[in-house]
Amino acid sequence: MVICRLCQHENPDGTQFCGKCGNVLVTGGEPYVAVQGPNSQTYEAPNTIPFNHVDQKEYAEKLANPNKQDYENVSVLAFIFGCVGFLFNPFYLVSLAAIILGIIGHANNGSKKTLAMLGWILGLIALAFQLAFDLFCAAMLFGWGKFLFCY
């Protein structure tokens, strides 16, 4: 019996590929390199090192902290809420959600840090527009327009 080093499946002797994941079976003391087979769920390219210093830093952090949470979804939600805040913003909640989620995603250095920053900036702009619009509507409703807008 040959045991697959990727999925630990027992395969009969003489087989070259794992019957469960499709990985190449190694018999002997050869070094292990994960190969993407037809049914494999993972792929590890050997000796892959990022070229620029930003990617190298991110790569080193991922190796040092493999279980660190990535705030990618939070950043994407912040951006979506920031955009939606211009169209639909009941009680300023959408803009506030964009600001809060954007700050969380930006502060935790997620992979989508720029998207998080755009989210909280769009949330602030949408909040400012909504406040200005509400003040304008209140001024017109209560007859304060002649004092605020000098006409």
Residues 6+ apart with CB under 8 A from 21: 4, 6, 7, 9, 37, 39, 40, 41
**pLDDT tens digit string along 20-75?**
877 778 766 554 444 555 555 555 555 555 566 667 777 777 777 777 777 888 99
Q: Helix axis angle, 113-142 relative to 72-84, nearest 10°?
A: 30
Q: How confident is the model at residue 141 (pLDDT cuts 50, 70, 90)?
A: confident
Q: In the predicted model, what is the mean pLDDT of the chain?
A: 78
In this predicted structure, which of 2-16, 22-36, 133-147 has the lowest mean pLDDT? Answer: 22-36
Judge if pTM exceeds 0.75.
no
User: Contact at 8 Å (CB) between 119 and 101?
Assistant: yes
